[in-house]
Amino acid sequence: MALVQPYVIDIMTLEEFQQRKSPEKLSPLLQALWHARQGNWPNAHDIAQDIYTREGAWIHAYLHRQEGDPSNASYWYRQAGRPPSQLTLEQEWEEIATELLARE
């Protein structure tokens, strides 16, 4: 019996990810980042808050930083085991995406 994978298995570059028209067939982590990139903070946050991993906490931290809530972001950076980012929001988004894409 074949195992069906619900997410994209193909290796994707950062540029390909940035140019995607839809988050369909992406992992929840990448879906959250995709929505954040599109300016859809509520959808990104809804997805991220249901991911109980360090990577999910990192995205959650990024989203609260994007929102302008540094104390909430700090909490989530601690959950992710990372110091609060000193990068621009764009740079941090790319850092998260690059790391996640390398693992997919």
The verdict on residue 69 lying in a domain is yes
Q: Counting beta carbons within 10 angstroms of the beta carbon of residue 96, is it exposed (0 to 12), middle (13 to 18) or buried (19 or more)?
A: buried
The verdict on residue 56 lying in a domain is yes
Q: 87: which DSSP letter?
A: S
Helix residue ranges per DSSP H, 1-104? 14-19, 28-37, 41-48, 54-67, 70-80, 89-103
The structural domain count of the chain equals: 1
The verdict on residue 12 lying in a domain is no
pLDDT at 2 exceeding the cut of 70: no
Q: How far apart are the first and last CA of the chain?
A: 23
What CATH number should be reported for the domain holding residue 69?
Answer: 1.25.40
The verdict on residue 13 lying in a domain is no
The answer to whether 56 and 48 are in contact (CB under 8 A) is yes
Residue pLDDT, tens place only, 25-69: 889 999 999 999 999 999 999 999 999 999 999 999 999 999 999
The verdict on residue 52 lying in a domain is yes
This prediction's pTM: 0.86
